[in-house]
Structure 1
């Protein structure tokens, strides 16, 4: 993560905001008092929040682990030809 001072951030606000939104990379802004804050795009923030929700939800994590286990053993769900035709619209 790149770091800039609050003065640099203020002087080049438009450039830094465009960089954060376009490159999907957060930017750490430091203040003279030592406190810092992070600037990130709204899309990236929402994606981070969704990831945290899933990671904190034991039921969802169990479903993911179970799905990975059946996938790795090739024992997961396999649709019939009829179901595949319905899914793909053929």
Structure 2
């Protein structure tokens, strides 16, 4: 994660907004007060909130972990053979 000062961000705001939205790179903004902020795209923020909501429930987290354990992994050659490719 790139870290920039508030002044630097203000002087280059458009390029940082483009970078954050297009490349999904968060930016840490350092302030003189010591209260740093993070600049995220709207999509990344929504994803983070959804993840926190899902993992906030112990029951949901357990279901996700169980489903992940049941997941089977296949080699590319196995998939090709199964699909007759």
TM bin (shorter chain): 0.7 to 0.9
Aligned CA distance change for structure 1 residues 71 and 30 (closer, same or farther; 3 Å)? closer
**Larger-gyration structure (1/2):** 1
Question: What is the TM-score normalised by the length of structure 2?
Answer: 0.75
Gaps in structure 1 of 5+ consecutive residues: 73-90
Measure the CA separation in 2 of the matches of 1:70 and 1:31. 46
Give me the TM-score of the superposition, normalised by structure 1. Answer: 0.71
Mark the CA change 1:62 to 1:15 in structure 2 (over 3 Å): closer, same or farther: same
Q: Supply the RMSD in Å over aligned alpha carbons.
A: 1.4
Q: Which runs of 4+ in 1 moved over 3 A?
A: 68-72
Q: Match for residue 13 of structure 2?
A: 13
Shift of 1:57: 1.0
Tell me the matched-pair count.
72
